[in-house]
Amino acid sequence: MPRYFFHIRSEDGHLVEDLEGQEFADLAQAEENAMASAKEILAEGLLSGKPVLTGAVFEICNEKHALVLRFPFSDAATKPGAPP
């Protein structure tokens, strides 16, 4: 299975690199994980009383470090999708 890297670009442009990556059957599965993960991170932030990362974006890269998908966390706040 291909490995995808879920880098997180914050609203101010700072990048948190995912050095480990995670295997998924295909990009659709990786996107589903992005949706569920972003929902979880936003929920965790809300419950902690912190500002939530609605401006953050997953920059998902493949094994060749090519960007294959941008997934804005705001999508997880406004659209239905896989639950955490």
Partner 1 sequence: MFNQPNTLYQNNLLRRLFPSDLALLEPHMERVALPMRTQLESAKSVIGHVYFLEEGIASVVAKIPKGRDTEVGLIGLEGMTGALVALGGDRAPHDTYMQLAGSGLRTPALSSALSESTTLKALLLLYVQTLYIQTSYTALVNARSKLDERLARWLLMCHDRARGDRLAITHEFMSVMLGVRRPGVTVAIQELEGRA
Write 9-14 long-range contacts (CB < 8 A, 24+): 9/56, 9/57, 9/58, 9/59, 10/53, 10/55, 10/56, 11/53, 11/55, 11/56
Give the shortest CB-23-to-partner 1 separation in angstroms. 9
Which residues here bind partner 1, judged by CB under 8 A?
Answer: 6, 8, 16, 18, 20, 22, 33-34, 36-38, 40-41, 44, 47-48, 53, 58, 84
Q: Which of 80, 83 has the CB closer to partner 1?
A: 83
Give the shortest CB-44-to-partner 1 separation in angstroms. 5
